[in-house]
Amino acid sequence: MVIITIIYEDEKMAGFKAEGHAELAPEGEDICCAGVSAVTQTALLGLLNHLSQKPIYSMEKGWIHCKLAKGLAEKDQNKAQLILSTMEMGLLSLQEAYPKYIKVHTGRC
C-alpha cells in the first residue's frame, strides 16, 4: 500500500511524504504507483520552479519526502498552498479510485 501524509504546520500545508508500493501490478506496470508518483513529483517540480526558497526534499525508489522552507514570503506561501492543495486533490481522487492500495493522511508537526 502507498501511504501519503500531508504535513501541516500552523494550519497550513508544510510538506508531504509518500512511501510504499501499491502492489496492484508488477513493478513498472502499477498504475496506482505511477499515479502517486506523477502527482507528487509534479507538485515537487511546481514548488522547485515557482518558489524563491526551494523546499527540502529527498526521493528514492518507493518514497518521496518534501518539506517547505521555513519563513516563506507570503507570496511564496500562497503559491505553495495552491500547489500542495492541488496535489492533495489529485491524491484523494486516486485514493477514491483505489482505496485498497492508496491511503492519504494528514499530520501535524
- What are the residue boundaries of the structural domains of the chain, listed by start? 2-108
Cα 47 from Cα 83, distance rounded (Å): 7
DSSP code at position 68: P
3-state helix vs strand vs coil in the chain, percent to 5:
40, 30, 30
Predicted confidence (pLDDT) per residue in 16-43, tens digit? 999 998 888 888 888 999 999 999 999 9
| pLDDT tier, 108 (very low <50, low <70, confident <90, very high otherwise) | low
Cβ count near 26 (within 10 Å): 7
Pairing outcome for strands 102-108 and 2-9: parallel
User: Looking at the domain 2-108, which fold is it?
Assistant: Alpha-Beta Plaits (3.30.70)
Q: Whole-model pTM?
A: 0.92
